[in-house]
A and B are shown apart, each in its own frame.
Chain A
Amino acid sequence: MIYLELFLAFLKIGVCTFGGGYAMLPMIMEEVEAHGWAESAALLDYVGLSESTPGPFAVNIATFIGESNGGFLGALCATLGVVLPSFIIILAVAAFFAKYSKSFFVKGIMSGLRPAVVGLVASAALFAALAVFGAGRDVSAVFSDRNTYVSLGIFALSAFLVFKPKLHPAAVIGVAATIGAAYGAIFGI
């Protein structure tokens, strides 16, 4: 039953992600791969579109994967799943709120989770890099492919724009999309 699967997968994602947004990516990748909900390249497309549309990243990506696999109802189940844990937890926390983030337990747990998230996002970056540069192919095929170098160039420019002038992610996506479209139209991909 696709609706229940979507709900449960995103419920799990909602429970396990601290730090929001990209911290969710490794687990989303894991679930999407396990259920065959999207190709890894398509998942990167969803991430790009989620960054260029308003709203919380997690909700965007849940709705996206839900809709593309189960239509409106699928989107509803996935979004409900990703939102429900934080809704319930905050309802509980709001009561004894001030003490919460200073409590021994929370401090201890967070001292383990902060580094964990760094490691997880690094693994997401590796996963994304493999998808962008066409993993699964022969190494020599990757290096003799013109597209590899163009991707590398767009990546370098995007990284520069996002780190140096601190351009908004949606604007960086726009620039990269334009370059990609122009390159494809002129040289073919």
Chain B
Amino acid sequence: MKKIFELFLTFFKIGAFTFGGGYAMIPLIKREAAEKKKWVSEDDIMDIVAIAESTPGPIAVNAATFIGTRTAGFPGAAAATFGVVLPAFLIILGVSALFRITSDIKWISYAFFGIRAAVLALILNAFVSMYKQCPKNLFSYVLAGAVFVLAAFLKVPVAAIIGGCAVFGLAFYALCGRKRE
């Protein structure tokens, strides 16, 4: 029981102190869960990142669930996940309510005029970092280009695109991917 409470508390702390989530959380998770608490090894952290990349969902949730399961089974997983989600949930509840009340205030709407332009830059930044992670070959370029056209101009549902690309990737890998390795 003490372990389960500790898992909750540790991941609550991780959830409360990392901005932007995702990879920004990994160093903190490593320090808290591997170095301090020794719930998992540092190699495990590397594996968690690899797993998180190839499973759906937020990386922070993936990592919390994984470390929780390893440490204290299902209750541990539930406690760690609840902990990592709770701070964001509570803070946004407040921010969202505040946003509704204050968005009519002039200088706040002016601030958001600036914020929107910055968000565009952040999306561009995400695009660049995803491009860097992507393998550089003809197959990737053609697929990425096709997905862009399908999503942006032809308005094909994103779920269909994801499903199609998964099948396509698997087929291509089965045909010619293994030879290259």
- Chain A residues with a Cβ under 8 A of chain B: 12, 14-23, 25-27, 30, 41, 44-45, 47-60, 63-64, 67-68, 72, 75, 79, 82-83, 85-87, 89-91, 93-94, 97-98, 100-101, 104-129, 131-132, 147, 151-152, 154-155, 158-159, 161-163, 168-170, 172-173, 175-181, 183-185, 189
Contact = CB atoms under 8 A, between A and B. Distances in A.
Contacts, number: 394
18 contacts: A14-B57, A19-B133, A20-B59, A22-B130, A44-B116, A56-B59, A64-B95, A87-B65, A101-B47, A101-B54, A114-B130, A121-B130, A123-B147, A123-B152, A128-B116, A158-B120, A178-B114, A184-B111
B139 A128 contact: no
Interface stretch (B2-10, B30-38, B172-180): B172-180
A123 B56 CA distance: 20
Contacts of A101: 47, 50-51, 53-54
A131 B113 CA distance: 11
A162 to B, nearest CB: 5
Contact of B168 (A52, A82, A112): A112
User: Would you call the interface of chain B mostly helix, strand, loop, or mixed?
Assistant: helix
B166 to A, nearest CB: 5
Contacts of A89: 55-57
Contact of A147 (B19, B113, B122, B162): B113
- Sort A-B residue pairs by CB-CB distance and give the 8 closest, nearest first: A112-B169, A180-B114, A55-B88, A86-B57, A184-B110, A119-B147, A176-B118, A108-B173
Given A63-B96, A114-B135, A185-B107, A158 B89 contact: no
Contacts of A26: 151, 158
